Amino acid sequence: MNLASIDPSVLRDVERVPVALGDRSYDIVIGSGLLADDACWHGLPAARHALIVTNDTVGPIYAGGLAQRLAGAYPEIEVISLPDGESFKDWSTLNQIFDALLGSGCDRKTVLFALGGGVIGDMTGFAAACYMRGVPFVQVPTTLLAQVDSSVGGKTAINHPLGKNMIGAFYQPARVLCDLDTLATLPDRELSAGLAEVIKYGPIADAELMTWLEANMAGLRRREPALLRHVVRRSCEIKARVVGADEREGGLRAILNFGHTFGHAIEAGLGFGVWLHGEAVAAGMVMAAELSERLGLTPPGLRQRLSSLIESAGLPVCGPALGAAEYLRHMRVDKKAEDGDIRFVLIEGLGQAVLRSAPDGLVAECIDAHCA
Ligand code: NAD
Ligand code: GLY
């Protein structure tokens, strides 16, 4: 039985992407106006308490509407608003969620709702995994990045000063509700950061998506609703397929980290929050494509094509000049590293990714070639 099943017949003009994980299966629901549409909120786990976890930016815009939607199902609804930013994705902020849960006498059936971007989603999911050894949670992602990537697949975490997302758990949500209308209030820089994770799916899994993005990037940046709907649905389909095949990253799921090994080094090297996650991934993808070409895995040309697409999304194609040694130091803490050996997601041909290690000297050359 699914954690929470939704009756498709009650849904109007929405997309439904299933994530097939046996008894942890759930739906990703995508559409406009979901926060105002009761039908999408039917069939969630029953409880006395619901806790909406949000932040000081998103809460004032959307928490009231969500609380209204949930009022019929949950007699007691609380909202906790955390400080906004990647630099707060840590133990002390996480503890504020536990303080709210315990302070309100929330029991083990309490349902947590993550209302915000990837930072709120990752922290709320981790809190749900830990509170009373696990309570249900629902993702209500409000950034493009969270709608196309972080809300799906059950990776939850906080950062440690020595490494990004190093403390966490695999813990699946009961449902993901992507209201495309929330993207209207997203700052341009954040929209671009989300586009980095969309672009990622092309080289690793879908050559056609890459061509489609090249043709439609300007419209996406203008936030044309049909285009946004297409990229959120397609991205979720790809992610759901990968997660369904390899939930705990025994192998295949690692491809979703294309550009992330370099990107995490940028985020940790500069200090979390200085560059946005999507910006760091964008420059990281260029470095990873360069490495793929230099190792002879992919014919020359992919790196240039990817750089052009990334640039057209308003994203950086060069990383900060931290020095290759500093990048390598952070990359050794990457979760894909084994016995200190850094493993990279590389491209073997458009739409086809592989996991490989590479000599430090060559990696350093790729970093130096794409640092400003
Ligand atoms: P974020 O959560 O910091 O949100 C970006 C900014 O946009 C914040 O200031 C936020 O308050 C604001 N915001 C959110 N929704 C808004 C809206 N609708 N209108 C106006 N402002 C809004 O960043 P993000 O890019 O969503 O997520 C990045 C995080 O996600 C990183 O911590 C990264 O590690 C994590 N991540 C996790 C996974 C995963 O699989 N769990 C995958 C990718 C990224
Ligand atoms: N964003 C990487 C993953 O979910 O595996």
For 304-352, write each residue's pLDDT tens digit: 999 999 999 999 999 999 999 999 999 988 776 777 789 999 999 999 9
* Burial state string for 80-109 with b = 16 or more CB within 10 A and e = fewer than 16: bbbebebebbbeebbebbeebbeeeebeee
CB distance 223 to 183 below 8 Å: yes
Q: What pLDDT is attached to residue 2?
A: 45
Report the mean per-residue pLDDT for the chain: 94
Catalytic residue ranges:
133, 155, 197, 239, 249, 253, 257, 260, 264, 277
- d(Cα 22, Cα 74) in Å, to the nearest integer? 27
Q: What pLDDT is attached to residue 19?
A: 98
Of 113-117, 168-172, 263-267, the range with the lowest mean pLDDT is 263-267
Task: Tell me which of 253, 264, 335, 355 to substitute to probe ligand 2's pocket, judged by most ligand atoms within 8 Å of the beta carbon.
Answer: 253
Number of alpha carbons in the 13 Å side-chain half-sphere of residue 80: 23
Among the bound ligands, the one closest to the CA of 194: 1
Give bridge partners of residue 167 from the DSSP assignment: 158
Of the two residues 30 and 87, the one the predictor is more confident about is 30
Task: Tell me which of 28, 54, 58 to substitute to probe ligand 1's pocket, judged by most ligand atoms within 8 Å of the beta carbon.
Answer: 58
- d(Cα 16, Cα 372) in Å, to the nearest integer? 42
Give bridge partners of residue 319 from the DSSP assignment: 371
CB distance 355 to 254 below 8 Å: yes
Closest-lying ligand 1 atom to the alpha carbon of residue 84: 11
In this prediction, residues 250-263 reach a mean pLDDT of 96
CB distance 288 to 369 below 8 Å: no
User: Is any atom of ligand 1 closer than 6 Å to the C-beta of 319?
Assistant: no
Rg for the chain, CA atoms, rounded: 20
Q: What pLDDT is attached to residue 8?
A: 63
- d(Cα 59, Cα 214) in Å, to the nearest integer? 34
Q: Residue 326 corresponds to which amino acid?
A: E
pLDDT band at 1 (very low <50, low <70, confident <90, very high): very low
Torsion 211-214-215-216 (CA) sign: positive
DSSP assignment letter at 338? B
Q: What pLDDT is attached to residue 49?
A: 97
- d(Cα 171, Cα 135) in Å, to the nearest integer? 10
Q: Which ranges of the chain would DSSP assign to H, the alpha helix? A: 59-70, 91-103, 118-130, 144-145, 188-205, 207-221, 225-245, 260-270, 277-294, 302-312, 324-331, 360-369
In this prediction, residues 145-174 reach a mean pLDDT of 95
Three-state SS for 26?
A: strand
Task: Tell me which of 90, 119, 120 to substitute to probe ligand 1's pocket, judged by most ligand atoms within 8 Å of the beta carbon.
Answer: 119
Domains of the chain, CATH where assigned: 8-185 (3.40.50.1970), 188-369 (1.20.1090.10)
Closest-lying ligand 1 atom to the alpha carbon of residue 197: 43
Q: What pLDDT is attached to residue 338?
A: 73
SS3 of the chain: helix, strand, coil, percent, to 5: 50, 20, 30
User: Is any atom of ligand 1 closer than 6 Å to the C-beta of 152?
Assistant: no
In this prediction, residues 79-84 reach a mean pLDDT of 98
Residue 182 is inside which H or E element, if any? none
* Distance between Cα 154 and ligand 2 center (Å): 9
